[in-house]
Amino acid sequence: MMITHIAIVSLPVSDQTRALDFYRDVLGFEVVRDNPFMPTGARWIEVRPFGARTSFTLVTWFETMMPGSMTGTVLEVNDLDATYAELQARGLALSAIDDAPWGRYATFTDPDGNGFVLQHSRMP
């Protein structure tokens, strides 16, 4: 057996449409799928950074996954300063950029409070 990659990460949100607007319009993610899902009116909404293999599904149906409960997801960028400025211009509130042994980073949350790290790694 050989696991080749992480395909999908379920991201708990309270409102799928609001979350889709954030991930598509603020973060600039591409929409992979937006289809009806389950008889409850939920949708299978899958988004990812352009060119990425791993995507997020914006889920509302897992009772054990409360919106805002996911933290620490790291999003790697090529140019932290440019990405930071672009996301701020789109209205995203980010922490100050910080320096660490592994690279530079800033943090932010989505509309539900899920926490992310925007990072540019240093090469060893």
Residues in the chain: 124
**28/1 Cα distance (integer angstroms):** 35
Q: What is the mean pLDDT of the chain?
A: 95
pTM to 2 decimal places: 0.92
Is residue 33 within 8 A of residue 46, CB to CB? The reply is: yes
Domains, the chain, ordered by start: 8-121 (3.10.180.10)
> In this model, does residue 124 exceed pLDDT 80?
no
Q: Rounded to whole angstroms, how far apart are CA atoms 28 and 118? A: 14
Q: What is the number of other CB atoms lying within 10 angstroms of the CB of residue 68?
A: 16
* Out of 38-42, 54-58, 102-106, 119-123, least confident range: 38-42
Q: Assess contact for 48 and 40: CB atoms under 8 A.
A: no
